[in-house]
């Protein structure tokens, strides 16, 4: 029996398949966005070993040391777990995967004014989902545009192979990996309103520039997912979670990827 779209229009599904990304509005209420804000404001005042370790010393010059990203908050925070399994998001993902999604990762980015961006990269270089691919759900906690370092995408690179990245410019990127824009492709800003969700394919080249604003954070709650047919994933992302919260232990993918070896840092985005 063929899969029938449940949430997305045929046009939306075609855009995702062709361009590699799709922005969807209305998946989070104002109250839900505010709950996420309050939760991560509270986390920002804590130190959680292995997940969030800010440097609060007076001589810290890099604002990202005071506000580093929060890694895998669903493993210690019930609100993050709840919104990783947010039903409206999972319904969209079910249409995109054409099967039930499995949640693999959560992150929260504060990205304060003046902070560096992240060099262009591909998410499935890190997740190593097989068979199939991963999909990110990138929720704009604040409106995101070119001024405050909103996300950049390279449309139609979703069909490109995963490549071994080069070394990024550490004065502009807080991560070390850079994937160059293929000849004939163009970088496009993903301008988003507060509460919008950007879905994109794990091969899509994407990243962000520096937050050039004087007083605007660019906060984002990001989750990564795989389809339920997934059998292998990089070790950092296991266990996976079904919509009901039950865990799935996927096999560790032993493939070193296009570089031939595992990198120490398995954190996309």
**The pLDDT value given to residue 2:** 67
**The pLDDT value given to residue 264:** 47
Answer yes or no: is pLDDT of 262 > 80: no
Beta strands in the chain (DSSP E): 21-24, 70-71, 101-109, 118-121, 134-140, 151-153, 166-167, 177-178, 188-189, 197-201, 206-208, 220-227, 232-233, 240-241, 247-248, 251-252
Answer yes or no: is pLDDT of 170 > 90: no
Residue 212 vs residue 262, higher pLDDT: 212
Q: Please state the rounded mean pLDDT for residues 126-147.
A: 97
Answer yes or no: is pLDDT of 184 > 90: yes
**The pLDDT value given to residue 256:** 73
| Whole-number Å distance between alpha carbons of 105 and 247 | 13
Answer yes or no: is pLDDT of 266 > 60: no
**The pLDDT value given to residue 260:** 67
**The pLDDT value given to residue 60:** 74
pLDDT tens profile 186-232: 999 999 999 999 999 999 999 999 999 999 999 999 999 999 999 99
Q: Please state the rounded mean pLDDT for residues 165-181.
A: 91
3 band by pLDDT with thresholds 50, 70 and 90: confident
Residue at token pair 């794990």: 202
pLDDT tens profile 79-132: 999 999 999 999 999 999 999 999 999 999 999 999 999 999 999 999 999 999
Which domains, and CATH codes, for the chain? Answer: 10-54+68-251 (2.60.120.620)
């Amino acid at each position: 029996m063929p899969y029938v779209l449940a949430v997305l229009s045929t046009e939306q599904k075609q855009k995702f398949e062709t361009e590699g990304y799709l922005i969807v509005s209305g998946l989070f209420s104002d109250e839900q966005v505010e709950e996420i804000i309050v939760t991560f404001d509270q986390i920002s005042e804590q130190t959680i070993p292995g997940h969030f370790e800010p440097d609060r010393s007076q001589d810290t010059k890099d604002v990202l040391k005071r506000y580093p990203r929060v890694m895998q908050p669903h493993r210690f925070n019930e609100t993050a777990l709840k919104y990783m399994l947010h039903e409206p998001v999972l319904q969209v993902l079910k249409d995109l995967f054409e099967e039930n999604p499995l949640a693999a990762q959560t992150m929260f980015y504060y990205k304060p004014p003046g902070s560096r961006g992240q060099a262009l990269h591909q998410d499935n270089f890190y997740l190593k989902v097989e068979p199939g691919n991963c999909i990110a759900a990138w929720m704009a906690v604040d409106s995101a545009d070119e001024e405050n370092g909103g996300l950049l995408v390279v449309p139609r690179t979703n069909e490109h192979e995963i490549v071994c990245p080069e070394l990024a410019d550490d004065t502009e990127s807080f991560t070390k990996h850079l994937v160059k824009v293929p000849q004939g492709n163009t970088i496009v800003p993903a301008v988003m309103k507060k509460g919008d969700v950007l879905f994109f394919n794990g091969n899509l080249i994407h990243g962000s520039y520096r937050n050039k604003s004087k007083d605007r954070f660019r906060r984002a709650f990001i989750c990564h997912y795989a389809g339920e047919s997934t059998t292998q994933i990089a070790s950092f992302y296991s266990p996976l979670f079904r919509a009901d919260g039950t865990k799935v232990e996927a096999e560790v993918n032993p493939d070193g990827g296009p570089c031939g070896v595992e990198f120490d840092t398995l954190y996309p985005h």
